[in-house]
Amino acid sequence: MAASRYVRVTAIIGAVVVLPLAACGGTGQKNSVGDTVSRAAHGDITTPGGARRLSGDQSKSLSANISDAKAKNIILLIGDGMGDSEITIARNYEKGAAGAFDGIDALPLTGQYTTYALHKDGKPNYVTDSAASATGWSTGVKTYNGALGIDIKGAKHGTILEMAKAQGFATGDVTTSEIQDATPAALFSHISERDCYGPEEMAQDCKAETLENGGPGSVTEQMLTARPDITLGGGFETFKQTATAGDYKGKTLEVQAKERGYQIVRTATELAAVTKADKDSPVLGLFSDGNMPVSWTGGPAVRQGYLQPASKCTDNPKHTADVPKLADMTQKAIDVLSTNQAGKDKGFFLQVEGASIDKRDHAADPCGQIGETVDLDAAVSKALDFARKDGNTLVILTADHGHTSQIVEEYSEDDLRALSEDSKQPIERVRDVMYPGLTRVLTTADNAPMVVSYGTSADVGVEDETHTGTQVRLAAYGPRAGNVAGLTDQTDLFVTMTDALGIDRNAK
């Protein structure tokens, strides 16, 4: 696997090389758009200038990447829980300190956006969950943690996917989580509790919103009604539930999907065979009962894990050949959306989520989260490959919130004993002070140790590490990419994307 290879960056490449690219604007006009960038260091990081990632002034490069032309397509890629620390950890491990990701680090225009949610009284909740954050960019409205597609008063707000579909665009929703999970569900559902996946959960936690009570129904039922052209991820287990009201009362959600014309695919082979997906015959890929298995595995961080030998990550045997990679799902979605009639006539909106960066961060599992970040990078590369050729696609990369993992200083046992002697504190006390959370040491692509620490929980074996309230990276390439620069908010992204596609946000 790529993670086990030692990577030495020697090519002298910088960020100011601009390759002209013909781009068709919404009116058919040709526009000059700059290329993506390389951020790998110049060469030997031990020599003067060797660690530089620029080879000169980048003003012309940045200018060449700014265009106010309308975009025909948008590909929005989300790294769930992928704060700057998670990106750095993954880059160090896979590419080395001087290396760069081919996708994540190649987007030329970058900024940050704020991620806070709201309490129901309107005051800021500084640490968001994925539901409130995704509602921000999908509807332009801030809400409370746990809510999808509604504001703090419970009022429904249309999503970018719903608007795009209603106004003639092809639409897609890809994730490595259950398709009912917060980030993918924010594109098509309006509900007070994100966990109301199916009729069974609705009966317990969302009774007022059930179909029999005149509500919109469960997250899954709302997805079947919203009808994106292609929806890929996990979550098949919920489709075994039975509808309790409506036109499909007494039938399982799987049967309902088939009767409504969905093509259901369950394996990578079946996905590869798909040649068409549109409003008449949408594709529903369900590749696992729950969340899709992660690509890499390794031991979790533990108390005083810094004392264990440094280790490498390995392939997860549960991620078999029957399970498609995120990059493969992204490519398939791009292929069918760009070639179906709506995509050709009007364009498409596609959201792609690397979901388990967050989930493995919660579990203090560095190899799990690193592998998912590497997989997301491959998906970003697929999006950029298409955008470079197409010339009229806006690619955006961001996260929904920050998370807990970070790189901390390495202390040897001799260092800690010296601190113990100097402070006249027991060695056990010094260890707890210097490493209060969970740690694990990994050997990076530089063949160097990296201590990854999780500091928001000291519990071992419990998915209890928490989100953080930091602003997160926002990066883009293509028409309107300049609108991600500087400091914005998640709700700004909704306006940026709808404006880029020329969507009428007031249309009924």
Residue 417, H or E segment = helix 413-423
What is the residue whose two structure tokens read 């620390």? 85
Structure tokens at 361: 């961060």
**Separation of alpha carbons 180 and 217, rounded Å:** 13
Neighbours of 168 (CB within 10 A): 12
User: Which of 330, 323, 385, 377 lies closest to 352, judged by CA?
Assistant: 330
User: What are the phi and psi torsion angles at 230 (to 5°)?
Assistant: -145, 130
**Separation of alpha carbons 256 and 198, rounded Å:** 13
| Active-site residue (options: 38, 61, 67, 130) | 130
DSSP one-letter string for 242-295: B--SSTTTTSBHHHHHHHTT-EEE-SHHHHHT-----SSS-EEEE-SSSSPPPS
User: What are the phi and psi torsion angles at 464 (to 5°)?
Assistant: -125, 0
User: Which of 83, 84, 87 lies closest to 99, judged by CA?
Assistant: 87
User: Which of 18, 34, 65, 178 lies closest to 482, judged by CA?
Assistant: 65
- Is residue 130 part of the annotated active site? The answer reads yes
Q: Are strands 348-354 and 73-79 parallel, antiparallel or unpaired?
A: parallel
Q: Is residue 134 helix, strand or coil?
A: helix
Structure tokens at 342: 């709506």
Q: Is residue 504 helix, strand or coil?
A: coil
**Separation of alpha carbons 280 and 415, rounded Å:** 66
Rg (C-alpha) for the chain, rounded Å, is: 23
Distance, CA of 505 to chain centre: 25
What is the residue whose two structure tokens read 């790998």? 40
Active site residues: 130
